[in-house]
Amino acid sequence: MKSFSLLSRGTGIVFLAPAGLLIGAFVIAPFFWVIYVSFTNRSLLGRTALAPDFVGLANYFSLFDAATFFTRGEFGSSLILTIQFVLLSAVVGQAALGMLLAWMLQSVPKSLKHVTETVAIGAWILPEVVIAFAWFAFLDYENGTLNMIMEALGFPPGDWLLSFPFWAIVVFNTWRGTAFSMMLFNSAFSSIPPSYFQAADVAGASSWQKFRDIGLPLVRGHVVTDLILITMWSFNVFTPFLLTSGGPSYRTEILPIYTYRIAFRDFDFGKGAAVGVVVMLINLVFALFYLWVMRRRAKGVAA
């Protein structure tokens, strides 16, 4: 029997066309275009802007050149910096702090819970340029709020963006993104039947025991989801550029900022595209893993 559908195939295609065209032009075409450009010496100006030469893997060789790989300001150094940035600010920072907050929020007074959630979410939803400017003021050497507090507590003030630029963007990204993990884990914890915890209370379990034996195992699936998403976001985030511009001397130049400098300051589009391809490959690994986890869950295999 032929199944009845509400839209004919023709109407369906017409309905799909506008979105299809836009996605084709600005998502799928760039995907292939960047691969193509990475094999050329395309530049912004000059002869190679109009008629770029095919250079094979030259751009990739220059990225992975062993002689300069670890030099500061080169690809390898930026890649390592990015991995450290993601591990520290996303996995340790956002996920762990978000988990800790979500767990504690289950048993603090309502008003405190509400206020804490509001400021964390504020950090997350405000536009990135505004946040960057607020942090610029916060970390200012002469008058910044942080140094004001340091002095009040009897510590010497620090020129944070110059002396500890990498830690500044790590803390910045943690601060900026924790709200997502917090909300995700918060709703995961609240969906656990309260009777589980009441039974543990009667047995005299400590909060840590309840977390280890009830809370954490039951939200395991959410932890995986959270880790993949925040890792991908932090890996691609451009916001630290607004705080440090990648400096001083490339010490905060994570891959998105490195790509920007190679492509739009040095106008070496070929090499910039090669970095883009490497970034896309890493994104692809995360995205495929994520889809695999989601499909497994949809089929009801994993909790």
Partner 1 sequence: MTRYLGLYFTRIGFSAATALIGVFFALPLVWFIFAPFNPRAELGLSVPEPFSLTNFEAVFQNGFAMRGLWNSLVQSVGGVILVGAGATLASYALSRSPIPGKSVITYILLLFSSVVSGSAAMVPIFLIINGVGLIDTQIAVILVFAGGLLPTAMFILRDFIDSIPKSYEESAMVAGASPVQAFFDVALPVIRPGIVVVVVWAFVSIWGSFLIPFILLRSSEKMPASVAIYSFYSEAGTPIVTLLAAYSLLYSLPVVILYLFVSWKFGFRFFGGIKA
AA letter at 173: N
Phi, psi of 43 (to 5 degrees): -135, 180
| Smallest distance from partner 1 to CB 193, Å | 19
Residues 165-184 that bind partner 1 (CB under 8 A): 175, 178, 180, 183-184
Among 1, 54, 143, 154, binds partner 1 (CB under 8 A): 143
Among 57, 115, 199, 302, binds partner 1 (CB under 8 A): 115
CB 123 within 8 A of CB 179: yes
Applying CB under 8 A, the site for partner 1 has a residue count of 103
Q: Which of 170, 179, 164 is nearest to 83 (CA)?
A: 170
Residues 54-83 that bind partner 1 (CB under 8 A): none
| Smallest distance from partner 1 to CB 106, Å | 9
Q: Is 25 exposed, middle or buried (0-12, 13-18, 19+ CB in 10 A)?
A: exposed
Instruction: State the DSSP code for 247.
Output: -
Phi, psi of 8 (to 5 degrees): -70, 160
What is the distance between the alpha carbons of residues 252 and 164, in angstroms, rounded to a whole number?
10
CB 70 within 8 A of CB 76: yes
Q: Which of 194, 232, 226 is nearest to 210 (CA)?
A: 194
Among 140, 214, 223, 293, binds partner 1 (CB under 8 A): 140
Residues 193-252 that bind partner 1 (CB under 8 A): 201, 204, 206-207, 232-233, 236-239, 242
Of the pair 67, 202, the CB lying nearest partner 1 is at: 202
Q: How far is CA 47 from CA 15, 59, 269, in A?
A: 43, 18, 13
Among 57, 80, 92, 148, binds partner 1 (CB under 8 A): 148
Among 129, 199, 302, 303, binds partner 1 (CB under 8 A): 129
Of the pair 67, 301, the CB lying nearest partner 1 is at: 301
The answer to whether residue 50 forms part of the interface with partner 1 (CB under 8 A) is: no
The answer to whether residue 95 forms part of the interface with partner 1 (CB under 8 A) is: no
DSSP symbols for 60-103: HHHHT-TTTTTSTTSHHHHHHHHHHHIIIIIIIIIIIHHHHHHH
Among 73, 116, 158, 159, binds partner 1 (CB under 8 A): 116
The answer to whether residue 145 forms part of the interface with partner 1 (CB under 8 A) is: yes
Among 121, 162, 216, 224, binds partner 1 (CB under 8 A): 121
Among 46, 109, 156, 193, binds partner 1 (CB under 8 A): 109
Residues facing residue 43 across a β-bridge = 268
Piece in contact with partner 1 (CB under 8 A), picked from 57-65, 71-79, 83-91, 113-121: 113-121
Residues 5-34 that bind partner 1 (CB under 8 A): 5-9, 11-13, 15-16, 18-20, 22-31, 33-34
